[in-house]
Amino acid sequence: MTKRIYSVPYFLWILFFVIVPLAMLLWQSFFDLNGHFTLNNYILYFSSGTYLLMTWNSILYALIITVATLVISYPVAYVLTKLKMKQFWLMLIILPTWVNLLLKAYAFIGIFGKYGSVNNFLQFLGIGRTQILFTDLSFILVASYISIPFMVLPIFNALNDLDDNLVNASADLGASRFQTFTQVIWPLSLNGVRAGVQAVFIPSLSLFMLTRLIGGNKVITLGTAVEEHFLTTQNWGMGSTIAVVLVVAMLLVMRMTKERRD
C-alpha cells in the first residue's frame, strides 16, 4: 500500500506532463488553420517533397552526429575505465552539460566566426579566413561536441561493469587484442552503446536552436519546421503533425535500440 502511495506523484507527472501534452498534440494535428477537422495535414506531409526532404535531412544529420559522437566517445570511455581517477575525469567530461545550451552555442559563434579563434589561427598559418560558421560542418561539429557526454556516460558504465576475468580468459585462450575486443568487450558493452545512441540520435532529430544559431538557417530539419509553424506561420495543425511524426520516429528508434537481456 505504501509503494502505491509513493507512486502516485510519478503517475500524475506522467499523466499531466507526458500523456496529456501528447494527446493534445495528436488532437491538434487533425485541424487546419481555420479550426476545421481534416486529414490534409498528414496527406500534405507524406505527399510533399519539401517535408519528405526535411525528414531525410533530419535523419541524415542525426545519423552523422550519432556516428561521429560514437566514434569519439567509445575510445574515450574505454580509456577512462583504465585510469586511476576515472570518476574525476568522467566528471570533467560531464561538466559541460551543466552549462546552458544557448551559452555554448554563442561561445561557438565566437570561436567559428569570421574573426573568431579558428579563423585567427588560419590567418596566422597563412591559409586565410574562411567561412566556417553557418555551414553543415559547423552544425555537425557543435552538435557532436554537445552530445559527447550523453554518449560517453552509458558506454563508460557498461565498460566499467565488465568483468576483467572475461578479458583475461580471452587472452589466456590465445585471442589477440582485436579478437578480445570484437568477441568479448564490444558485445558486452552493446547495451551502453544502445543507450548512448538513444540519448544522442533522438534529440538530434528535433534540433532547432543550433540550426538557427550555428547553421544559420542553411540547415533545415523537422525541428526547424515545427518551430516555424508554431511561431511564424501560426499553422499549429501542420506543426503538430510534424511533431507527431517526430514522436513516432523517436519511439521506433527506442524500439530498435532497446536494451537486450540474454
Q: What letter represents residue 40's amino acid?
A: N
Number of C-beta neighbours around residue 26 at 10 A? 14
pLDDT of amino acid 56: 92
Provide CB contacts within 8 A for 129, sequence distance 6+: 114, 115, 119, 122, 123
pLDDT of amino acid 31: 93
pLDDT of amino acid 175: 86
pLDDT of amino acid 173: 85
Dihedral angle sign, alpha carbons of residues 83, 93, 107, 110: positive
pLDDT of amino acid 185: 92
Q: Where are the alpha helices (DSSP H) in 113-208?
A: 117-125, 136-160, 164-172, 177-180, 186-188, 190-205
Q: Give me 188's grid cell.
A: 558486452
Residue 208 lies in a domain: yes
Residue 83 lies in a domain: yes
How confident is the prediction along the chain (262 residues), in pLDDT tens digits per residue? Answer: 677 787 888 889 999 999 999 999 999 999 988 889 999 999 999 998 889 999 999 999 999 999 999 999 999 999 999 888 898 999 999 998 898 888 999 999 999 988 888 999 888 888 888 888 888 999 999 999 999 999 999 999 999 998 888 888 888 888 888 999 999 999 999 999 999 999 999 999 888 888 888 987 777 888 888 988 998 888 999 999 999 999 999 889 888 887 766 5
Residue 80 lies in a domain: yes
Residue 5 lies in a domain: no
DSSP class of 84: T
pLDDT of amino acid 261: 62
Residue 241 lies in a domain: yes
pLDDT of amino acid 20: 95
DSSP class of 192: H
Which residue from 170, 174, 199, 197 is spatially nearest to 184, judged by alpha carbons?
170
pLDDT of amino acid 260: 65
Residue 110 to residue 185: CA distance in whole angstroms: 40
Residue range of the domain that includes 118: 49-256
Cβ–Cβ under 8 Å, residues 222 and 240: no
pLDDT of amino acid 262: 55
Q: Give me 227's grid cell.
A: 518551430
pLDDT of amino acid 96: 87
Looking up residue 91, the CATH number of its domain turns out to be 1.10.3720.10
| Number of domains making up the chain | 1
> b/e map of 237-252 (b: 16 or more CB within 10 Å)?
bbbbbbbbbbeebbee
Residue 190 lies in a domain: yes
pLDDT of amino acid 1: 64
Q: Give me 31's grid cell.
A: 485541424
Residue 74 to residue 87: CA distance in whole angstroms: 16
pLDDT of amino acid 172: 84
Helix/strand/coil for 37:
strand
Residue 155 lies in a domain: yes
What pTM value is reported for the model? 0.90
Residue 113 lies in a domain: yes
